Amino acid sequence: MSAQESTLVLSPPAALGGSFARLGAIFLHALRRGGALAAFFLLWELAPRLGWVDAAFLPPFSQVLATAWKLLSNGQLTQHFAASLGRSAAGFALAIVAAIPLGLAIGRYRLFAQAVNPLLEMFRNTAALALLPVFILFLGIGETSKVAIVFYGCFWPILLNTITAVATVDPLLVKSARTMGLSPVRLFRKVILPASVPTIFVGVRLAGAMSVLILIAAEMVGAKSGLGYLIIYSQYNFQVPEMFLGIVCITVVGLFINFLLVALERRLTAWNTHRSET
Amino acid sequence: MTVKLSLQNVRKTFRSRHADEAFVALDDVTLDVEDGEFMVVVGPSGCGKTTLLDLLAGLTRPTGGQILLDGKPVAGPSLDRGVVFQQYALFPWLTAQGNVEFGLEAKGAPSAERRETARRFLGLVGLAGFESHHPHELSGGMKQRVAIARSLAYDPEVLLMDEPFAALDAQTRETLQCELLRIWRVSGKTIVFITHGIDEAVFLGQRVAVMSSRPGRVERVIDIPPEFKAGEDIRAHPEFGRLRHEIWRLLHEDGERAREDERDARRLAVAA
């Protein structure tokens, strides 16, 4: 969509002054893509400075950036960042490793899937954060409880999507492969598994978003490091710029994870056109 | 001529959920297909065409009677029969080349040979240069060409085709019908082609087995004389029209009878 529009802008003066028009087009493109963002940060900068909001509660964006520099140079920010990323990556990765094979196994045996489905529905609808006190009770406030709760939150979307993926593979593809005399094992490996990848990935992306959300909440409740801890600790001590810095950092982490997953999904499921269309 | 594929008193019933008695999909189907023959099976919808194909492919077992391939009973799906489906059934994550290689891999061919054979058969169906395209980049007609290449590539004894051109537009269908006849002449394969199109049946078949519905039976096998097929626009030939009408009449009578049966059944149900 946006690429089409920019070529429209580019095409008329292509012969004469082409580079000039191109610069203009790039500017327009940047404006369209980043205009709203720029306006948002500008408002954030100006509102406290012009006295529209109390600067003690909402410091100008430049002050948040200055704080970022300060915490970066004394190593604090890196430490919190690393703690958070490490936990969410560990929980997320463990969930992928555990949930996909289990989901494949459950999805393959329909009777078993039917039998465990009510149980799975119940677990899925038990909000992970509601279980946070239980996790802390059993596993303490160290790393284990945080990784475990992220694992728990990520596990269900991946598991349920994997089960659905296997159960909803186009029966005609299975039939077609069966006519070629494929053994059940080969049929699974060569047809059911690749056909399931797009739907499994829907679960993985859901879990990616989930991992950040749950981790931050967990760090706010019981932790001694991490971005969630940074936010809540700064708030207690009325270090408002630090608090906002923590919030901005979480957004960056979320964007980064989503970017990675989208890129990976493109690579794995380039053949699946209707997904990119919707 | 030797018999390639022989159906002997084949019967297939399904247990129905509502009625007490089993539903009879095919009843006493007997048909011999000769080696290298192009046999078309034509019938109204609901006459058990797909059931017949599943049986021939070995996906299901007949309730009674037997199906012999080269004199040996069909025991299950195997690479000695290739199936082409109406909806192509290509694997969307594989390229055209990959799809054709799929069956060869199942057959256990070494990879260099697979590549070479797949290229050759894509060429045979007129898709040279499209090897690295994914199915979603191909038109319906091209997808069906890939599917035909896939089934031919692993060199089955019999090619089974289940209404392969029904989902295509008229123009593409006609082109592919001609292409199929060419491929059949080149490859010398035995083909069993299932369709509900009468024109298609007369155009393609050497013999046409006309089925009746409820229960599915082979009503009559009609020879299509090869002489008139030598001409240019054979659909315009008077003989084409005569054969077409003959098959139409058989199907039409059957349809009338089926409707009457249904009326009787409804009247009985109302009375009871």
- What confidence tens digit (pLDDT) does each residue in A107-120 have? 888 788 888 888 88
Which of A173, A182, A272 is opposite residue B106, by nearest beta carbon? A182
Note the pLDDT tens digit of each residue in B107-121.
888 888 888 889 988
- Determine the pLDDT at residue B236: 75
**Chain A nearest-CA residue for B96:** A271
pLDDT at residue A11 tops 70: no
* Cβ atoms of A176 and B146 closer than 8 Å: no
Which residues 168-187 on chain B approach chain A with CB closer than 8 angstroms? none
Residue type, A185: V
* More confident position, A24 or B101: B101
Short-list B208, B163, B161, B210, CA closest to B184: B161
* B190 phi, psi to nearest 5 deg: -80, 130
Which residues 69-128 on chain A approach chain B with CB closer than 8 angstroms? none
Length of chain B counted residue by residue: 272
What is the average pLDDT score of chain A? Answer: 85
Chain-chain contact of B76 with A181 (C-beta, under 8 angstroms):
yes
A8-12, A191-195, A210-214: least confident range: A8-12
* Cβ atoms of B161 and B184 closer than 8 Å: no
- Map chain B to HEC letters: CCEEEEEEEEEEEECCCCCCCCEEEEEEEEEEEECCCEEEEECCCCCCHHHHHHHHHCCCCCCEEEEEECCEECCCCCCCEEEECCCCCCCCCCCHHHHHHHHHHHHCCCHHHHHHHHHHHHHHCCCCCCCCCCHHHCCHHHHHHHHHHHHHHCCCCEEEEECCCCCCCHHHHHHHHHHHHHHHHHHCCEEEEEECCHHHHHHHCCEEEEEECCCEEEEEEEECCCHHHHCCCHHHCHHHHHHHHHHHHHHHHHHHHHHHHHHHHHHHHHHC
CA pair distance A40, B147, nearest whole angstrom: 54
Residues from chain B contacting residue A191 (CB–CB below 8 Å) = 91
* Cβ atoms of B77 and B13 closer than 8 Å: no
Mean pLDDT of A54-76: 89
- Determine the pLDDT at residue A7: 42
Residues from chain A contacting residue B167 (CB–CB below 8 Å) = none
Q: Which residue has the tokens 């915490």?
A: A71
Take residue A91 and report the two structure tokens written for it.
């929980």
Does the ipTM exceed 0.90? no
- Determine the pLDDT at residue B257: 73
Rg of chain B over all Cα atoms, to the nearest angstrom: 20
Short-list A188, A183, A201, CA closest to A268: A201
Which of A173, A175, A178 is opposite residue B91, by nearest beta carbon? A173
Mean pLDDT of A165-177: 91
- Determine the pLDDT at residue B254: 72
Q: Which residues pair with B13 in a beta bridge?
A: B24
* Cβ atoms of A59 and A48 closer than 8 Å: yes
Kindly report the pTM of this predicted structure. Answer: 0.77
Confirm or reject contact between A266 and chain B (CB < 8 A).
no
Confirm or reject contact between A172 and chain B (CB < 8 A).
yes
